[in-house]
Structure 1
Amino acid sequence: MWKKRIPLLLFVDIITCTLITFIGFALMYEGEGASYWRAVLIFAPVLSASTILFMLRYNLYQRIWKYSSVGELVSIFKAVTLGVVVSGLLFSILNWEWMDLVLLLFIFQSSLIVKGSTRFALRLKSDTYNKKGTGDIKVLIIGAGDCGSMVAKEIKQNKYINNSYPVGFIDDDEQKRGNRVGGLRVLGNRNDIAAVVEKHEINHIIIALPAASKKDISDIINLCKETSCELKIVPRLDDIILGKVTASSIRNVEVEDLLGRSPVAIDLEGIANYVEGKVVLVTGAGGSIGSELCRQIAPFKPGKLLLLGHGENSIYQIDMELSKTFKELQTEAIIADVQDRETLFALFGEYSPQVVFHAAAHKHVPLMERNPKQAVMNNIMGTKNVAEACDQHGVERFVLVSTDKAVNPTSVMGATKRVAEIIVQSISFYSNTKFAAVRFGNVLGSRGSVIPLFKAQIAEGGPVTVTDPEMIRYFMTIPEASQLVVQAGAFAKGGEVFILDMDKPVKIYELAKDLIRLSGFEPYRDIDIKFTGLRPGEKMYEELLTDAEGMSATLNNRIFIGKPMAQDIEPVMLELQHLEGIIRSDLSEVKSFVKRTIASQNRSAV
């Protein structure tokens, strides 16, 4: 569309330059005589040519004028100034006398006004600022800085939501309060959000604070969720720097924004030292944590990244993603099951991995209660197979991805993960491989987690199902958990259980209400919440340490070390052989045997 306007603008500039010349010289020569017409015929084409030349020099024919700002005004000033000065000099040379300064100033002033007004008329045509109140959806913008101003402009010009318009800003800067930014008034600070929403009947709130800390964002979201408004957020500072604040960059507020965590500090040098140039194997590479581990490891330039999993679709997807994002990275997609000991050992012999992240596991608590054999075979025997392969093939480091459900477990899944930790600690007692486990809580958005379930239930109109109003859980984001797992691997010396700082636990009931509000609904009014009671194997609250484990700090303030618990490998292996026999003969004994094994190992470690 803008390309079609270039000939029109060129035509307008030629006509206006000619008219300004006629008027200016008419005032000087009183519009009579041969000298008047001679001067006009010389100066008009010179002014048109020089002005257009400098307008081209400053790209003023390639601008999209509905997005124009002070920068465009400065460019117009420069182009007109240079055009008039050059025209005056050329006219003086051709006419053999200096051009009258008053006339030159008149032409400069007139040209500047005409060129500016024709361009900004295009901006005014697309700007809906003067159409206040024409939309039904009223938007409040939090943050009256550059980002907020750009968001307001985007809404007014493009209507990011159909039939919407911005009402005003919220900003904590008291000097802005009551003043106008882009024609919109700053209506108060964050403590005034609820009152402003009620007074102006706001429907949507957009948080336009891309440089604010995560804690500030979390605090503001907590204030906003007390209203019935739908929340949006501008997430990336890069978009503001590059001027990319558009409708597509404004996203829904997610539960992750409520956590208010500071960014994870990564020891780049420490990670590079043990990953760079090495053959790295990730088991369960197609899962939520496994695939994110691959994404976090890839930038540290491993020599080769082995992606092992038994689901061909998920392994294919992460392999294709990594190949596209990290073009120089060598990957190997391997379809195999950690329960297949023979195949696993053959793969270790073929590829000789130096660093192993073991993320393959069955993790769904109620499902594993109904399928204890598969939980034991995958989480216990699978871990034993991978750990023994690491030991026998001289792997440098092995990191087990564990869970807080392994602490004083009440479920089959938690118990099998605790036994997996015991296996790792036992083998570490005599192996040259540096074995470690990393323990953390629930991961937001992972497969089988509560967040996707709640979102699906909200999308269906409810009800949202919560087990108990008092149930609490620790939460982390997938990237956050994966980064800390990779970081913990740098601290491993052998036998440690690393505990990730999960911050404060969250009530599942409060989480459900937050998700409903963030979706633009009101709990119990629009979306009902029903309590279903604890499912088999579930706990009311989770723990991160057993009684026998102390806690010490690492160089990263988000990672702590549970005291290594040296285990004699022989009794552990004998118990595992017994367990294999039970699985094949009597499934009813599996749960009680696993519990006895954990209890005996905890007692021996004290």
Structure 2
Amino acid sequence: MSPNSTSARPDPVRKIHDDLPPARPPGPPAGLRTLVVGAGSAGTALVRDLGRTPAFGLTPVGVLDDDPAKAGRAIGGVPLLGPLTDLTELAVRHRAQVVALAIPGLPAGRVRTLATAAAAAGAAVRYLPSFLSALRREVVGSDMRGLDVNRLIGRHEVHVVSSDIRTVIEGRRVLVTGAGGSIGSELCRQVNAFGPSELYMLDHDESNLHRLQLEIWGEALLTDHSLVIADIRDRPRIQQIFRDLKPEVVFHAAAHKHLPLLERHPSEAVKSNVLGTDHLVEAALATGAERFVLISTDKAADPTSVLGASKRLAELIVQANARDARGLGTGVFSAVRFGNVLGSRGSLLSVLAEQMRSGGPVTVTHPDVTRFFMTIEEAVGLVLEAGRMARGGEVFVLDMGDPVRIVDLVHNFAAQVQLGAEEVEIRYTGLRAGEKLNEALFSEGEVRLPTEHARIYATAVDPAAPAGTCPEDLAGGLTGLYEAAAGNCDAEVLRRLAGLLPGYRAPQEAPVPALSSPYPDGF
């Protein structure tokens, strides 16, 4: 099969899951993909109602029930997928956007367990008011109540993606790095809807790629050329991929992102977040990519952590090469920052769900700690919109509203899964090395610039900012940084990070001592 052939690939927009009944008309669901929990009279009536009333905006794609006698049956033409204990797994597998709890009279503890299991999969939760059971009347779709993300994040969810994105995606070869991660996989799903000629999904974890292909195309034979196993640290491999595939649009989502771990292992942060980005930008320039978008983080603004410092350097690499690209009249290179993402693997929402489900205390670093929040759909919409608007060298930032106190988010989440405030035990652990009490979206040396999109800003260096905001000899400084990281000399890595980013201060706590040799005795 040639790299540009698509004849053997199922149409991802028109193909539906193999496990859905063949009698259903081809095409994507008209509403949000919904799992209905409960195959009794309430669940059956709900499936019927939602199917008859598209205005509810929910399309059942599966039903869950614990009754073994119902296994393998279809409820109103919708397949029964498995027991309630498999809710999280099935919600992920079937890309459920909503989980509807349709068992009136279910004990509150069971409701909480199911609601947190659904939230852990990134699905919104709808449940039937308990009074329905007492009234014993027939359920209708309008009786559903939901997990309101607006209450969780303290603002209305912003949908920034527009049909104009098609102008930069349709008919082009698109590469997504870190494709198996939460942001990367959502990027792949949304990019795929805009008709690229090829969608190349790059990740170093083959299990993630298998899952992603199954989610997008409904089958995962792992024989398709669109799946690319590679480590962005491997420069020759990245160069080979770009030479062979010649991607025209690149979304770079691959990164190490867990702040406390990177404080302990700064060399690893540099190898992936800085050097890996350098390899990709270099290859994109060499092969004439039209657009390159780096996914960054709000922690890159006035960084106090290794994570933030490494991502700020990645931004600077993109900006420096954007200038070179403009001079050559070639590609457009830009970056986009955003805050914490609800619904991603390891995100606060999934951690809260797991802690509440296990009955343990909810851990929060500080009573007054705040963060900016957005949904994963918002984050990906921003990345796509930035790719369209970019002219080269911008760092885009979404207007994310006011920061949210973590404690308030915990209480809002608990209330929506029917858990009283007195039932939520919060244990404060203290801020960890590198963590800020309050995040910022813009550095002190940056100014906020409006763009054509009302909810998206760009950054520019403030002329009044102190010298050294962007190092003059970035390339030279990076060479020394890469050498220190290659030798796993964490103390030297921290020293060089501080030298490259004058506002960054290395943590006081010493990192884990590096091995005296890359290969201990016996290897």
Give the match for residue 577 of structure 1.
479
Give the match for residue 544 of structure 1.
441
**How far, CA to CA, are the matches of 2:438 and 2:470 in structure 1?**
31
Unaligned runs of 5+ in 1: 1-63, 70-153, 165-203, 205-229, 235-242, 602-606
Give the match for residue 40 of structure 1.
none
Pair 1:399 & 2:293 matched: yes
Pair 1:561 & 2:458 matched: yes
**How far, CA to CA, are the matches of 2:205 and 2:282 in structure 1?**
23
In the TM superposition, residue 573 of structure 1 has moved relative to its aligned partner by: 1.2
Candidates 357, 371, 376, aligned match of 1:478: 376
Give the match for residue 156 of structure 2.
261
Candidates 288, 302, 308, aligned match of 2:182: 288
In the TM superposition, residue 258 of structure 1 has moved relative to its aligned partner by: 3.3
In the TM superposition, residue 317 of structure 1 has moved relative to its aligned partner by: 1.1
Candidates 422, 438, 442, aligned match of 2:316: 422
Secondary structure at 1:547 match in 2: coil
Q: 1:396 to 1:528 in 2, by over 3 A?
A: same
Give the match for residue 360 of structure 1.
254
Q: 1:163 to 1:599 in 2, by over 3 A?
A: closer
> For 1:335-354, what aligned pairs fall within 5 Å after superposition?
335-354=229-248
The structure having more radius of gyration, on CA atoms, is 1
In the TM superposition, residue 421 of structure 1 has moved relative to its aligned partner by: 0.4
Pair 1:160 & 2:62 matched: no
Give the match for residue 596 of structure 1.
499
In the TM superposition, residue 160 of structure 1 has moved relative to its aligned partner by: 3.4
State the Cα deviation string for residues 121-154 of structure 1 (Å, max 9, x = none).
Answer: xxxxxxxxxxxxxxxxxxxxxxxxxxxxxxxxx9
In the TM superposition, residue 68 of structure 1 has moved relative to its aligned partner by: 12
Q: 1:265 to 1:385 in 2, by over 3 A?
A: closer
**CA contact under 8 A between 1:464 and 1:529: conserved in structure 2?**
yes
Paired residue type of 1:532: T
Candidates 512, 516, 519, aligned match of 2:410: 512
In the TM superposition, residue 257 of structure 1 has moved relative to its aligned partner by: 5.2
Q: 1:582 to 1:68 in 2, by over 3 A?
A: closer
Higher RCO (CA < 8 A, seq sep 6+): 2
**CA contact under 8 A between 2:168 and 2:388: conserved in structure 1?**
yes
Candidates 268, 272, 292, aligned match of 1:374: 268
**CA contact under 8 A between 2:202 and 2:230: conserved in structure 1?**
yes
Unaligned runs of 5+ in 2: 1-43, 50-99, 112-124, 130-137, 464-468, 505-523
**How far, CA to CA, are the matches of 2:160 and 2:313 in structure 1?**
31
Q: 1:375 to 1:244 in 2, by over 3 A?
A: farther
- Matched residue count: 376
**CA contact under 8 A between 1:356 and 1:397: conserved in structure 2?**
yes
Length-normalised TM-score, structure 1: 0.57
State the Cα deviation string for residues 493-527 of structure 1 (Å, max 9, x = none).
Answer: 1100001111111001111122222222223x323
Q: 1:263 to 1:498 in 2, by over 3 A?
A: closer
**CA contact under 8 A between 1:425 and 1:565: conserved in structure 2?**
no
State the Cα deviation string for residues 43-70 of structure 1 (Å, max 9, x = none).
Answer: xxxxxxxxxxxxxxxxxxxxx999999x
Secondary structure at 1:599 match in 2: coil
Q: 1:67 to 1:389 in 2, by over 3 A?
A: closer
Paired residue type of 2:406: I
**How far, CA to CA, are the matches of 2:424 and 2:183 in structure 1?**
31
State the Cα deviation string for residues 89-120 of structure 1 (Å, max 9, x = none).
Answer: xxxxxxxxxxxxxxxxxxxxxxxxxxxxxxxx
**547-556 or 334-343, larger mean C-alpha shift:** 547-556
**CA contact under 8 A between 1:497 and 1:564: conserved in structure 2?**
no
State the Cα deviation string for residues 533-571 of structure 1 (Å, max 9, x = none).
Answer: 001211101111112221221221121111269999982
Paired residue type of 1:482: V
**CA contact under 8 A between 1:267 and 1:487: conserved in structure 2?**
yes
> For 1:94-493, what aligned pairs fall within 5 Å after superposition?
160-162=103-105, 232=127, 245=140, 250=144, 253=147, 255=149, 258-259=152-153, 260-269=155-164, 271-324=165-218, 332-431=226-325, 432-493=330-391
